[in-house]
Chain A
Amino acid sequence: MNLRERQVVIGGIFVLITLIFIGRLIQMQLYSSEWKEYAARLTEETEQLEPARGLMLDRNGQILLNNMAGYDIWFTPRKCRTAGGLDTMAFAEILRMTPAELEREFRRAEAYASYRPSIIRKQIPAEHFARIAGELYRFPGAEARRRTIRTNPTGLASHLVGEYREVDQNDMASNSRYRLGDYKGKSGLELQWDQALHGKRGIRHHIVDIRNDYRAPAQEGLLDTLPTPGQDIQLTLDLDLQAYGENIMANKRGAIVAIEPSTGEVLAMVSAPSYATDLLTGRERGSNYDSLLNHPSKPLFNRTLRATYRPGSIFKMIQGLIALDRGVIRPSSRIYCDRNIIGCHGGHTLDNLEEAIVHSCNPYFHEVMKRMIQDGSSGNIFRDAHNNLGAWSESIRAFGMGTNLGGHFPALRSGTVPDTTDYDRMYGRKRWAYSTIYSISIGEGELLTTPIHMANLAAVLANRGHYVTPHVIQHIGDLGKPEEMNQRFDTGIDPIHFETVIRAMAQVVTAEDGTGSRAQVPGFDVCGKTGTVQNSQGNHSVFIAFAPKNNPQIALSVYVENAGSGGDWAAPIASLMIERYLNGTVEQREKEDRILQATYPFPESPL
């Protein structure tokens, strides 16, 4: 090769290298997205904009759950280090932490990421923050970010409202929406309506520098979205009645559930003892939670929905109604009070239905149920029981017993209405007859209900044969009440039969010797029925009632654990609740004082 021609080889090498470079640039700049995505990860950061969480109001617009301004303190270890560290003692002091706690938070932040901020102190209320805001600059790496603190200023209805708190590992694993430090509803309405209350997050895209500080909006802010605030939820609760109920139930264990019969709207749900919601939302949650959890009266236990009791005498009214409906008795049918079969009390001997309810006659209802279960149709008492119990259970369930009442309370326990299969399992197929199971005829035995089931029963009686699914939601945002909240359930029993029972209930309250005379409310016809639930630690005092008799505005159940007979304690409490709701005030001072001073079952360490 002529030496002069070697310029082609050398020039060729130059061109070849340029072509290789251009090929590489085509791959890097035009074709592959790998490095572009890496660049975006390095230079862009999205900031989640939390929407304001929806408030909760009562039926009159009074605020139950509110948001309060607060601040979290975030800390970036690397920034602190490059700036030469900080005075831990002074920092701990303004944050109101011990130096040891602060050191632990520093270590945790370091372990998470030294160049990213993490929260070292949560939920500083606005008034505390105002005092320390001016000091914060002295501590490099620290910054304050606004957040809202959920608060229940009245401290009422804590069981119903539920908990709103920081997500844990499980939440983050099950839903990618949640990031460390996010909050969510964990129980009660806060959980059930979490999405509606939460609203929609906004996103702001930032360009960050090598230290991960926000420097400029990314994409000129075109991809940014504003947060959509959560929807306010109006409840059917009457906060005044709720507050009154919680007040008179102080120092007692038990529950009150009050329902507006015509609509199924729950007016009050008192579970005693109660606690202040805010105990479980703030920084002290951990220790508060432990002491509440370990308290002997189980304040965290929502008795209105989850405590199951045997219905006792109150159940006799249902027995009477379905017996009338099936024609096994007429209102005038009299049955001999045979105390050899089953014990009874009082001085009656041959009651009709109305009297039997007033006297709570056990043999009467033993006989009534016997006629339904052991009707002799098959000529075998075992087969009779086996054939007839199913239909009987169905009739009981039509009153809401043993059902979820339409399903608007996820925490609700359905209770138990025993069925053929249940007894088959317990005793063996056709190994049981009415004589085996007769205790359910007077509301004992395997029957179990909750306070809300019993309040709903009061509503069924008030409505003369139907109920609307009990619910607490009045409005969600401006969408109004969800349609399914108006669902109506019918017992299928002729309303005419109810009049007999209701007359009896009026008698219970108004009769001179009526067991429920303490339930009287001056100026109103109260219908009620006492119950005394057998319990080894002292019987539970139970009362259900509705008023006024002819235009019922309120139906309720009252449970006071270990307090004795239904007429002594539950009935006067029902009276006070009815008076408070219908009159707005309570004139029966004596009655009120007697209840307020009572502590059941025994004095305990205060909450």
Chain B
Amino acid sequence: MRHAGIDIGSRTIECVVVEDGAIVSTHQTSTTFDPMTEIRKILRGIQFDRIMATGYGRNLFEVAFEAPTVTEIKAYGRGVRHLYPEASTILDIGGQDSKCIVMGVNGKVQKFEMNDRCAAGTGKFLEVMAEALNFSLDEFGPRALHAEKSLTVNAMCTVFAESEVTSLVSRGEKREDIALGLHKAVVKRAAGMIRRLWAGGPIVFAGGVARNTCIRTLLEEELRVAVIVPEDPQSVGALGAALLLEEMK
């Protein structure tokens, strides 16, 4: 039997199909302003028997497809346990959320922290800042790593940070240096969240922001610990949902 997990996030939708605990296929698309259409598109041509939804759009999916749902916190926990059975601490930074999840020895979620309503320090923040400095999202992290000096950006609110960036630009600062300052601000916030829960050990970094090499490098420096990024960091939640569904009686 094939089990699918679909993670409907604020920016992207991932779908992972598993069979007997092994990944069969992985699919991804953008969420856009019309997630239902995108969901139907991504499901077209995927073979599965049952499906479970996670992520922000899970309740939308639950109603439309009469499918079970699970929070992305539990789903990421399960997905990471599949990929790195020894890991106990997970950082997930997505389009509008950041979460730190700590797993117990039984493989269940033990503690978690999550940002509140504000999307400060998430993918959305980096996206807006990249645009403000005229970087593409893909080059934002690598270029920040080429900074010559580190500037301090204090604001974490996207709106305030944008005006801080504007004033740094008008002071004649190099955009790579400003970019590094912005990345450091995100890492400071994420590290604070991790430290509140963390019992030590390596950290698995998932979600879209895990693709940003600068964030990963800075996190390793800040916490002095190995930060592991899965090969496909955005599909961990969908994978977890598929595995949880397979285990459901």
Indicate, yes or no, whether A interacts with B: no
